[in-house]
């Protein structure tokens, strides 16, 4: 959906002052994440994946119970199935969980290798920023 501006509005003036050419607009729109080291990108992606209490609780459930189907995971959450699905997708993209389908269920478990590696990276990060 494209937002339409009146040429007399303040929003339009602010946007036009920042974006004076199509090239500037494209440069502004591109992600700057690739300019950072892979390790920093990985740490940021893990932090992003852990930044919601529902995802933290999902990981705790899987750590305590082992492999679980989505219906079992959903029992402990006060969120809609669509929201749970989105949280599981974020955890899959961060490679914190492994999933498999066995019709009609989808099962999730912790991706222990990735978690161990990320734990080491996060520990190294917190050691760097340790303030006594």
Domain ranges, ordered by start, for the chain: 1-30, 38-128
- The answer to whether the bond into 104 is cis (omega within 30° of 0) is yes
Top pLDDT among 7 and 68 is at: 68
Top pLDDT among 3 and 124 is at: 124
Burial of 16 from C-beta contacts in 10 A (0-12 / 13-18 / 19+): exposed
Global pTM reads: 0.71
Top pLDDT among 100 and 25 is at: 100
- At 35, list the tokens: 């300019």
Q: What is the CATH number of domain 38-128?
A: 1.10.10.10
- At 58, list the tokens: 């999902």
Residues 6 or more apart in contact with residue 130 via CB below 8 angstroms: none
Q: What is the pLDDT of residue 5?
A: 47
Task: Name the strand (E) or helix (H) holding 62.
Answer: helix 53-65
């Amino acid at each position: 959906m494209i937002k339409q501006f009146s040429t007399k509005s303040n929003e339009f003036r602010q946007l036009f002052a920042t974006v004076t050419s199509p090239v500037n607009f494209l440069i502004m729109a591109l992600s700057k994440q690739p300019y950072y080291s892979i390790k920093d990108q990985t740490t940021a992606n893990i932090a992003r994946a852990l930044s919601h209490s529902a995802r933290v609780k999902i990981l705790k459930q899987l750590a305590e119970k082992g492999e679980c189907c989505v219906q079992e995971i959903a029992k402990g959450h006060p969120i809609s199935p669509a929201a749970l699905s989105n949280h599981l997708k974020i955890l899959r993209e961060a490679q914190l969980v492994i999933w498999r389908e066995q019709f009609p269920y989808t099962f999730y478990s912790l991706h222990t290798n990735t978690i161990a590696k990320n734990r080491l990276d996060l520990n190294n990060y917190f050691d760097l920023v340790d303030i006594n």
